Structure 1
Amino acid sequence: MFETIATLLDWLGVVAFTVSGALVASRKEMDIVGFVLLGTATGIGGGTLRDVLLGLPVFWVHEPAYLLTCILVSGLAFFTAHIPHSRYKALLWLDAVGLALFAVTGAEKAALAGASGGVAVAMGVVTATFGGIIRDLLGGEIPVILSREIYVSAALAGAAAFVVLMMVGTPRELSTGVGFAIGLLVRAAALQRGWSLPRYRPRPGRRDN
């Protein structure tokens, strides 16, 4: 039962990120090829890097249905991207959902591959953020990872919560749910309240005596 839920969450993350990539393509008024390129790169980019770093078979090569789904979802978005009242707001919230989902599923896949807790958390962050970085770079946007709002920290919180709960023997279902909820809540709060981490402020250097 849980394997089915985990697979569903993984698919939801792929679809959410694919749509967010397609929405960037719509903001840039790209053709359908641009939609497919941005949507697919966003949907599978983070998971691809994770699998390469872990030395695992790349998930969409092993199961091409992921690639086909990204292409179909991107093509559908080409004809429906005008529906949301604010494509930018829809982009941010879809990205938040994908971020929280991939933070957990990425960490779990790394843990199942035998990675240590710290590496599993890092792979969760990579899975959750790298697709968005590719999307923004290809779309000519300022990468969301460089925005003032909390982004990587949200993925880190979700992945870390999942890994810690699993290490203390919490059931996988509960660990997954809590990790996802924490990642999404942190990112949602950052979007709603403009939360950000303290920034470096220039200050006079030390003078040599």
Structure 2
Amino acid sequence: MPSFVTILDFVGTFAFAISGIRLASAKRFDWFGAYVVGLATAIGGGTIRDVLLDVTPAWMTDPMYLICTAFAMFFVILFGKYVIRLNNTFFIFDTIGLALFTVVGFSKAYALGYPFWIAIIMGSITGAAGGVLRDIFINEIPLIFRKEIYAMACVIGGLVYWICLMLDMESVLAQIIGGVTVFVARILAVKYKITLPILKGDPEP
């Protein structure tokens, strides 16, 4: 039976892939281009995390990541007119992927014996880096560099996850609470327009 973290990983892969493919379809990419964007969104953060942790990237040992992205591609093809028309579809799937991948990244780094602050960074990279690649591929300013609370939601969720572990909470419950924290932090930040301060400087000539 797959572990709870493995299930989160695959669900997060599916959600992130849909967010990438949905944006690619809005940019009128062909099927192959949309699949590449979805795949980069789904595995980009995890690949960077695994390289930094000196382990083989998960998608190189398990084809399910490629298969999950293919299912996401078919999902968008079949329900494209509903997925593309709904303006909040991207936000929902992106936020789900962000929450789940933060938990997966934190869990993997922490299980390898790294301190909690490294685990939080790895969780943030897993959650946010795929979105950066997605936005670069579709020629948009990455969300992580805008005013929106994005990577900070990962940091907050990672901290809550670690605190739950320090309180000797069951790992599955701690993972759920950590993921929900990321999801809620992102939702509340967008709903109430909570942003980080903008670094002001001289405008470009």
TM-score of the alignment, normalized to the shorter chain, above 0.5: yes
Q: How does 1:1-209 map to 2 (within 5 A)?
A: 4-84=3-83, 86-202=85-201
SS of corresponding position for 2:105: helix
Aligned length: 202
Q: TM-score, normalised by structure 2?
A: 0.92
- On the 8 A contact 2:22/2:83 being kept in 1, the answer is no
Please identify runs of 4+ aligned residues in structure 1 that moved more than 4 A: none
Deviation per residue, 1:79-131 (Å, 9 max, x gap):
43221364442111111111111111110011111111110010000000000
Q: TM-score, normalised by structure 1?
A: 0.90
Query: Following TM superposition, by how much is the alpha carbon of 1:202 offset from its aligned partner in structure 2, in angstroms?
Result: 4.7
Aligned residue type for 2:57: V
Aligned residue type for 1:129: A
Query: Following TM superposition, by how much is the alpha carbon of 1:200 offset from its aligned partner in structure 2, in angstroms?
Result: 2.6
- The whole-number CA distance in structure 2 between the counterparts of 1:70 and 1:202 is 41
SS of corresponding position for 1:84: helix
Query: Following TM superposition, by how much is the alpha carbon of 1:194 offset from its aligned partner in structure 2, in angstroms?
Result: 1.3
Q: Structure 1: which 5+ residue stretches go unaligned? A: 204-209
- The whole-number CA distance in structure 2 between the counterparts of 1:88 and 1:158 is 26
Change (3 A) 1:56 1:159: same
Deviation per residue, 1:129-162 (Å, 9 max, x gap):
0000000000112211122111111011111211
Query: RMSD between aligned alpha carbons?
Result: 1.7
SS of corresponding position for 2:82: coil
- On the 8 A contact 1:36/1:75 being kept in 2, the answer is no
Instruction: State the identity as a percent.
Output: 33
- On the 8 A contact 1:18/1:70 being kept in 2, the answer is yes
Partner of 1:207: none
Aligned residue type for 1:151: Y
Query: Following TM superposition, by how much is the alpha carbon of 1:63 offset from its aligned partner in structure 2, in angstroms?
Result: 0.9
Deviation per residue, 1:39-62 (Å, 9 max, x gap):
111011111111110011210111
Q: Structure 2: which 5+ residue stretches go unaligned? A: none
- The whole-number CA distance in structure 2 between the counterparts of 1:97 and 1:193 is 19
- On the 8 A contact 2:106/2:119 being kept in 1, the answer is yes
